[in-house]
Amino acid sequence: MTKVSSLDVALIRKDFPILDREVNGNPLVYLDNAATSQTPRQVIDAIVDYYSNYNANIHRGVHTLSQEATDKYEQARIKIQKHFNAAHSHEIIFTSGTTHSINLVANGFTSILQKGDELLVSAMEHHSNIVPWQMLCERTGALLKVIPMNEEGDLILEEYHKLLSAKTKMVFCNHVSNALGTINNIKEIIDAAHGFGAAVLIDGAQAAPHIQADVQDLNVDFYTVSAHKMCGPTGVGILYGKEEWLNRLPPYQGGGEMIAEVTFEKTTYADLPHKFEAGTPNICGGIAFGAALDYMNNIGIAEIASYENELLQYATERLLTIEGLRIYGTSKNKTSVISFNIDGIHPYDIGSILDKLGIAVRTGHHCAQPIMDFYKIPGTVRASFSFYNTKEEINALVEGIKRAKAMLS
């Protein structure tokens, strides 16, 4: 395996134990990174260390293990704050992931919206950035309007500007499309929304592995991330929220940790961030998320993005040599995701044959059914690349698709 760009990919691959396994008698070729990334040994070690050496509940314990766990957990919060350049560590709310984060904000806006208010959503959202807002509209009488997209998979921002008005209270959009890989111009989206006094939530789940968002520079109100897209564990993520917005929103859940004082007559709530962190959190997950950020930052987010772009270009060129293959999402600005179909063949059938060859891809609508409806297709095959993938693996993908096509045609 050769060194590509500035990354020693062969050395990096040694950090990921799962990449040594076989699937159906073939070496694993893992190309489903947009669904979840793999976990390096450094993060696995952090998880084992927690459960082996200082497993305890946090914040109120006076004993040594509790204090050690609290320190590690809050150190992870600070790592995340610095990575995304939040102004304060209490603007980082630990959640179970992006879906939880979005629901937290949508629930909070129930007390803010009135009948006839308008919310704008992009046409290329994951279901988790559509359904909570539809539920919010049902509760409040607000209206949901859609920012359209074009055939290339770019949002039509001219139409977005026309949709904005004094009635617009909230705009939500992904930073990167999970189905197409498109990198949206969120700075323009945020600035325009703020011109009408609207808040903006950006779903950063697909962007965070490839782009280091600076939330202060973006001036975004809310930004969401899931750890499992960034070499971290499942079941943990964060909501970044501007302090003034987090103070304005009511708590999402009631219970322990999020209170200041409880009597049967009245409860007062804790300050940020604990106001939104009811119950015992995923302590190990938060600590491991910090370890994952350390790992990726040690490699370099810019170096990762550069190498993944090289893989994207190489894979695009190779795949387009296959007759009858069409790529969906051809924006000039995209991350290392390729969604495609082959004429006359269902994507599930291609994915099933690739699996027999040890090649892991995603098939279906990728929780982005409106995109599939736009293209009038049932779904796609999606190959998504990470910094531990290689051109040799892309070659294996191409040969596997050719084999699948020959069997299914």
- Residue 114: CB atoms within 10 A of its CB come to 10
3-state helix/strand/coil string of 239-300: EEECHHHHHHCCCCCCCCCCEEEECCCCEEECCCCHHHCCCCCCHHHHHHHHHHHHHHHHHC
SS3 state at 189: helix
Q: How far is Cα 397 from Cα 391, in angstroms, rounded to an integer?
A: 10
Strands, sheet with 199-203, edge to edge from the N-terminal-most edge strand: 92-95, 237-241, 222-226, 199-203, 168-174, 118-122, 143-147
Tokens of 249: 């929103």
Which secondary structure element, helix H or strand E, spans residue 178, and what is its range? none
CB 190 within 8 A of CB 219: yes
Residue 222 main-chain phi, psi, to 5 deg: -140, 140
**How far apart, in whole angstroms, are the C-alpha atoms of residue 290 and residue 277?**
18
Angle at 271 between CA 266 and CA 276, to 5 degrees: 85
- DSSP output for 347-408: HHHHHHHHHHTTEE-EEE-TT-HHHHHHHT-S-EEEEE--TT--HHHHHHHHHHHHHHHHHH
Q: Is 367 a catalytic residue?
A: yes
* 125 CB-near residues (< 8 Å, 6+ apart): 172, 173, 174, 203, 368, 370
CB 207 within 8 A of CB 337: no
Spot the catalytic one: 137, 173, 231, 367. Answer: 367
Using the CB atoms, write b or e for 5-14: b if 16+ within 10 Å: eebebeebbe
- Measured over the CA atoms of residue 364, residue 367, residue 368 and residue 370, the dihedral's sign is positive
Active site residues: 367
